[in-house]
Each structure stands twice: as structure tokens, then as C-alpha cells.
Amino acid sequence: MQNVEKIVMRRAIVLWMLNACFGLVMLGLLNMSGNSAVGWAQSDLPTATLLPTQTPTPNLPPSPTVGPLVTPRSYFATPQTSPGSIDEASGLPVPTHAATYQATREYAMLNILLVGHDSESDGQAGGGFRTDTLIVVNINRTAGTVSMLSLPRDLYVYVPDWRFVRINTVWDRGMAVYGGNDGGFRLMKETVWYNYALELHYYAMIDFSGFKRIIDTLGGIYIAVDCPIEDYRWTGTYDENGDPVFELVTIPVGWQYMDSITALMYARSRRNSNDFDRGRRQQQIIRAIYHSARNQGLLANIPQLYSDITSIVETNIPLEVFLQLAPIGLALQPTSIESHFLYVGRDTQGYTTASGAAVQIPTERFFETINAFLTPPTQNRLVAEGALIGIFDSSGMGKRWDVVAADRLLWEGLNSMPLGEATPPPNIDISEQSIIIDYTGNSKGNSVATLARILNIDDAHIYTVPNPDRTVDYAVYISPSYHACYNRQVIE
């Protein structure tokens, strides 16, 4: 049972992201978006063409008065190895310190590293482990924005004054050199700063004991699955030898309910994808847990929440910082969270070490992605217009593909409302491709082009039908041929 529990708990990091970091993140958002979309729960998915309404925010008790939030100063080791010399183990030149990004100089930022353990390495000599889940949450207090960036475990990084290693082994090295998890974070911080000029201020780390409990407490979660995921899932049973029994299952495209075991499989699967796409799915689960807890009113008791979190999470985030940032989590709009992902062949390229290990090393585009992660996004034109976008499921699949498409738009910072199953207007064929109907008739091509690009719809399937009595500005009808997995790192 112990090994299965470790497997089931592996991605428990999402709890902290939900209850702490999303709370921590939000108090910095002093100029929140006025958009009304929130996360969707199964109970509040609309089935009629209604305009979205503002979701009420629960009242919180007054927050205690604390001092101003100050970005903590970090300490960094100075590598003694000369940049440009060859690292014998890897055959790679020792890199110079990455250049500081302009955004880092212009904005007041707080970066929190979310860390998840690797179950297979639990119990190593010295109590070390691999950190296979690494998500950086950036809180830009100047611009009032929040971003997430997933770092894949096979990134090959240079540890200052040591050698090249996979990034998921840095923490363990830091524990051995400096002692404890604070030592692990110290070396991780030094390494990430040296290689990527990305400063980490705090960490939140969780082991395998919380994930199942949290998902089960929420009664499960709903995920808009946009790519089918196939892998082995624990059945919850054991064979005659006491070993866990697994079954091969496929999670299809659609609005899917997941219990804790299925959610874990979805978060950690790589059978038909990779570490990079897994990072995206982990961010999906983070969002889903946040929305579920918020919709159930579980975020209202801030002091007890902190106590519960710190009983299962190891972190160096002080209580006073949590108290400063946590309340805004209740007002978080989905479009206020920006997600960033690395792509194989674009941000990284494969490299085989002298020992035969397959790792990923950064390209120039990698640093552009980090710069984008640190830079506040410009407001999307559709958001600036306050455009109302309605999504209808005309696929006939019965899997709420309207929610899948709406979730896809949300990743791009666009509000939309999934409006259930519907038949498209007469004389419009959706057998070959989904369609967009522009009811504004104002020839704002860029707006329509944005929708078309995200949903992979060509110009021939965009219709302009001016309607002054419209209930939505743009209507999207999802066809049976809708390819939700467009531009993803998944083998279908």
C-alpha cells in the first residue's frame, strides 16, 4: 500500500499551488481585469445562450495589518570554474552567467518555485530525492500580473563550481552540500539564476501524502481534456501478492470528471506525450483545483488554511507574506493567469551526454520564452473590446467539446462562455470544420483572426452576419472534426 500511496500522492504539489501560491499570487493584482469569466464547475455549466454574469466573491474577515511586501534579497555563489572551459563529464563548455532580462530590472517581482518529489527516489541515502515537478510562479506586483512556467526534469544545467546535471537532481545535491531542504533550495536558486537569470525567492515543496486527500476532499475535479491521454491507471486493488493492479485506460477529449487516481495519471503520464506536455497538464490540474475549491467556498478561512497547508507542505514562505497575498486569490480571474511552456525542438534540443544520458539543452528561443514569462502580457484585442464569445458544441459527441474549446481560449487569455449543445444556423455546413459567426459586422479582422488562429479555423469557415440584437458578439460552433490537440506535444 505504501508504494501505491506514493504514486497517488506524487503530484500533491498542486494543493500548494491552489491554496497558497494562487492566494499568494493574487494580493499583488491591484488592477484586476473586469472580465466576468471564472473557472467552470460541472454544476454551473450553462446550456442556454445566456450572457455570463459576475460570480460573487465570498467575504473574508479583515486581513491583519502587516508590513510592506518586499522582494527578499537572494544570495548566490560565485562559480570558481572559468566560463568557456570544457566540462569533462558532459563535453559542453561551461556557460557564462545568463544576462539579466529587461523585465527583471523594470518590475517588482516575486518568484515562487513549486516542487514535487519523485516517488521512485524516495528513501535515497541521505534522504534525498529527485524533483520531477518544477513550476515557477511569477508575481509581477508592478504590473499586477501572474505567470506560470513549467521546467522539464531533463533540462541540463550547469551547477556553479561543480558540473552539468539534470535539473531534477540539483535539489538533492544542495541538500548534501548545504544541508536540508533549505540547502536544496539554495543550490537550485543559485543554479537557475546562473543558467537562466531567473531569480527564485521562495519555495513550496510537498511529498506524496497530500494529493489523494485533497482531490477526494473536493469530490474530484473536472478537466477540459484537449488531447487523449493513454496510460496505466491503478484500479485501487491489489493482487494475491499484495502488488497494485493497473489497467490501460484512455482519457478521451472532453469535459472529464477525475477522481484522485485518474487526476494523478493525467498529471504524470508520458506514455503518448512527454515531460513538456506533462507540465502543461499539471498546470491544468492546478487551475482545476483552484476553481473547485473556490466554487465550494473552501478558501474563506485563511488562518486555518495556512495551518492545514503547512502541515503537509514544506516552505520558506513566511506567514506574513501569505497573509498579505492570500485574500486576492478569491478574486482571481482566469484571464489574469498566464501559462508558459517549453517546446522540444523550439526552446530546447536533445543532447546525449558522454555517459549516454538523453537530456535537453536550451536554444536561443528558450531565453525568449523566459523573457516572455517575466514580461507582463499586452492586453488581447478581444479582451480590450470586451467581446462576448459563445461556444456551442455541435460535434454530436456528447463530451462537452464547447468547454474544451472555451478552455483552449482561456489559455490564450480570452474569456468565453461554453453554452452546451446546439445546431448551427441553417445553410451553414460544419461537417468539415468548426465555424465562427461574427455578429458584430464591424470588420475587425484581427479579432476574428485571433479566434480562428487559436481554434484552427480557416477563413472559409468564418461568416459575418451583423445582428444588433445579438446576445454574443462571436459564436463558435464546434464540429465533429474539431482538432482540440492542435499544436500540442502529444502522439495521437
**Best CA proximity match to 382, nearest among 434, 330, 438:** 438
177 burial via Cβ count (<10 Å: 0-12, 13-18, 19+): middle
- pLDDT value at residue 443: 54
Q: Could you tell me which residues are beta bridge partners of residue 112?
A: 137, 202
Q: Could you tell me which residues are beta bridge partners of residue 150?
A: 135
- pLDDT value at residue 299: 62
CB distance 374 to 109 below 8 Å: yes
Between the alpha carbon of residue 44 and those of residues 59, 69, 195, 353, the distances in Å are 21, 36, 45, 51
CB distance 401 to 478 below 8 Å: yes
> What is the DSSP-derived secondary structure letter of residue 167?
G
Pairing of strands 164-166, 254-258: unpaired
- pLDDT value at residue 355: 85
Place of cell 561543480: 162
DSSP 363-418: -HHHHHHHHHHHSPPPPPHHHHHT--EEEEE-SSSSS-HHHHHHHHHHHTT---EE
CB distance 492 to 230 below 8 Å: no
- Report the half-sphere exposure of 117 (CA within 13 A, side-chain side): 25
Helix spans in 269-385 (H): 275-295, 302-310, 319-325, 364-374, 381-385
Whole-model pTM: value is 0.73
- pLDDT value at residue 305: 63
Place of cell 491489489: 238
Rounded Cα distance, 203 and 235, in Å = 33
Place of cell 451553414: 428
Going from N- to C-terminal start, the domains of the chain cover 2-211+267-374, 381-478
DSSP 336-350: GEEEE---BTTTEEE
Handedness of CA 236, 221, 213, 167 (dihedral sign): positive
Pairing of strands 417-421, 348-352: unpaired
Give the H or E element holding residue 184: helix 180-196
Place of cell 560565485: 78
Residue type present at position 428: I
226 burial via Cβ count (<10 Å: 0-12, 13-18, 19+): buried
* Residues of the chain falling short of pLDDT 70: 1-84, 118-128, 207-210, 275-276, 298-312, 323-336, 378-385, 442-446, 486-492
Q: For the beta carbon of residue 284, count every other beta carbon within 10 angstroms.
A: 22
Residue 374 three-state SS:
helix
Chain centre to alpha carbon of residue 114: 11
- pLDDT value at residue 213: 72
- 6: phi > 0 → left, psi -120 to 50 → alpha, else beta; which? alpha
- Cell numbers linked to 395: 460535434
> What is the DSSP-derived secondary structure letter of residue 17?
I
- pLDDT value at residue 8: 31
**Best CA proximity match to 223, nearest among 261, 250, 258, 251:** 258
Rounded Cα distance, 291 and 287, in Å = 6
- pLDDT value at residue 176: 92
Fold of 2-211+267-374: Aminopeptidase (3.40.630)
Handedness of CA 454, 457, 462, 467 (dihedral sign): negative
| Maximum Cα–Cα distance across the chain | 72
- pLDDT value at residue 437: 93
Rounded Cα distance, 489 and 386, in Å = 32
Fold of 381-478: Alpha-Beta Plaits (3.30.70)
